[in-house]
Amino acid sequence: MTSAGRFAPSPSGELHVGNLRTAVLAWLFAKSSGRKFLLRVEDLDRIRSGAEAEQLRDLQAVGVSWDDAVVRQTERGALYDAAIERLTAEGRTYECFCTRREIQEAPSAPHAPQGAYPGTCRKLSKAEREIRHATRPASIRLLSEVSEWSVEDQLHGQYVGVVDDFVLRRNDGVTAYNLAVVVDDAAQGIDQVVRGDDLLRSTPRQAYLAQLLGLSVPKYAHVPLVVNHDGVRLAKRDGAVTLGDLAAVGIPPGKVRDLILESIRLPAGTLEEALVHFRPQELPGEPWVWKTPRA
């Protein structure tokens, strides 16, 4: 299978400049390393009607192209079910009936990392599970054998993060992100994952799960985010940050693309022209502070 990189947005609304910058970087990383570049729509949750078409349009407007047909997670449920069935058959899952509030209020296990699931439902008896089934549906959690896992990141080096009994399938039947992303990347031949560094914390969970499923762990590169003037991750509440809003104040997509390239120390122009000058090791290590340009 051909190796590939990818961009995987959730169709919850228009992409903003931060999303587009990450997509451009993912494209540059993939193409500079001889990989294909794929697009996956992560539509298991938070879907807004028409958002996918808007996102594909905006990616193309700044020059991001993809090599194969778009893949959607809602079309891949059989793959997720098979992975959970395998883990369950191996005794690596259990049902959990905890609400989010109960998890937040539960005392942590001794020496457990902060924020880790405390294992409340790990050792429920069959009778206890039946009682809880009568009042609420269960999620499916991984029965983890480790508390942390190490990954190697191209930009951050070795990173050790928490691995707890994380959710594989939510109690509403929806596959959880940490499982879906691992299964999808392996199935698509994606061996390079470039995404925002706010997702670095979840990466050890995904790498550990891939190892349990006998799947190859991708090469990771978590890139700095785009932030507002307060240093907070850019959001749509920060003003003109989408291509639509910027076009309304006289800033065309080509100008936005050039600003993105400038922020990663590349010359203005097409992505293909910028690719000649792209060196991952020369990327800025700090977030890019977004300032809406003048028309």
Question: What is the spatial distance between Cα 278 and Cα 192, in angstroms, rounded to a whole number?
Answer: 16
Annotated binding site for Zn(2+): 96, 98, 117, 121
**Cβ(227)–Cβ(241) below 8 Å:** no
Distance, in Å, from the CA atom of 223 to the CA atom of 286, rounded to the nearest integer, reads: 9
- CB within 8 A of 238, min separation 6: which ones? 228, 290
Binding site as annotated, residues: 6-10, 42, 96, 98, 117, 121, 177, 195, 236
Phi, psi of 120 (to 5 degrees): -55, -45
Give the pair of three-digit tokens for residue 257.
């693309």
Could you list the residues known to form a binding site for ATP, using ranges: 236
Chain position carrying tokens 């070795």: 158
Q: Which two tokens stand for residue 101?
A: 């509030």
User: Which residues sit in the known binding site for L-glutamate?
Assistant: 6-10, 42, 177, 195
Integer Cα distance of 145 and 140 in angstroms: 16
